[in-house]
């Protein structure tokens, strides 16, 4: 039985595509005539950053980070956050956008944001496909939001259940 057989469709491929187009237009308006650097936290945001990059009609670069949160691995709250892979680009004096597929507690994103701010970017903003503010434990607000969702567990389009389901073109949630 496939993981999605235990789940139901929540956001369709078409809805995801429309959210990305809208986010791209907002970013293009805010950065008209400027270059941007997209920072993609691995693994979940890879699909989102690829689609967003193709949609944004600005000069752009991309870099990747891999940040782990021990609490997600062990189930405990407030675990250690550390870099497995840091960015390789010099982001000083650049317009940087962190591209997240979903913002949940905000702990890892806050850690990443503070690390990037220490490198002196011209600007630093957060783009997220899905924002789940009900789960926030650290006050962090994205600058660009595809959709705000209630507190539900979602899988697909980069989001996983024990590394499964990232490849689904739609976003699913557990059947009640």
Residue 132 is predicted with a pLDDT of: 97
Residue 78 is predicted with a pLDDT of: 56
Residue 50 is predicted with a pLDDT of: 98
- The active-site residue out of 51, 86, 90, 104 is 104
Residue 73 is predicted with a pLDDT of: 47
State yes or no: is 104 an active-site residue. Answer: yes
- Distance from C-alpha of 141 to C-alpha of 102, rounded to nearest angstrom: 12
Q: What is the mean pLDDT of each run of 10 residues along the chain (176 residues)?
A: 87 98 98 98 96 98 91 55 91 97 95 96 98 95 97 95 94 85
Q: Is the peptide bond before 149 cis (omega within 30 degrees of 0)?
A: no
**3-174 adopts what CATH topology?**
Rossmann fold (3.40.50)
CA-to-CA dists, residue 95 to 48, 115, 133, angstroms: 19, 15, 25
Strands across the sheet with 95-103, in order?
A: 81-85, 60-69, 36-42, 95-103, 123-131, 144-148
pTM equals: 0.92
Residue 158 is predicted with a pLDDT of: 96
Residue 74 is predicted with a pLDDT of: 44
Could you state, in order of their start, the residue ranges of all structural domains in the chain? 3-174
Using a CB cutoff of 8 Å and minimum separation of 24, what contacts does 74-83 make?
Answer: 77/137, 78/107, 81/107, 81/108, 81/111, 83/115
Residue 128 is predicted with a pLDDT of: 98
Token couple for 91 = 């982001």
Residue 82 is predicted with a pLDDT of: 86
């Amino acid at each position: 039985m496939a993981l999605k057989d235990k789940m139901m469709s929540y956001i369709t491929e078409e809805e995801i595509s429309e959210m990305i187009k809208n986010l791209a237009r907002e970013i293009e308006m805010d950065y008209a005539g400027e270059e941007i650097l997209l920072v993609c936290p691995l693994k979940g945001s890879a699909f989102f950053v690829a689609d967003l990059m193709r949609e944004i009609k600005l000069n752009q670069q991309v870099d990747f980070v891999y940040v782990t949160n021990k609490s997600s691995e062990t189930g405990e709250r407030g675990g250690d956050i550390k870099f497995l892979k840091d960015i390789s680009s010099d982001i000083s004096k650049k317009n940087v956008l962190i591209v997240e597929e979903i913002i949940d507690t905000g702990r890892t994103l806050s850690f990443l944001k503070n690390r990037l701010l220490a490198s002196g970017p011209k600007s630093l903003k957060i783009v997220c496909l899905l924002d789940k503010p009900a789960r926030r434990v650290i006050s962090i607000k994205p600058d660009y939001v595809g959709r705000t969702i209630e507190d539900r567990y979602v899988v697909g389009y980069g989001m996983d259940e024990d590394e499964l389901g990232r490849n689904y073109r739609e976003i699913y949630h557990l059947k009640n």
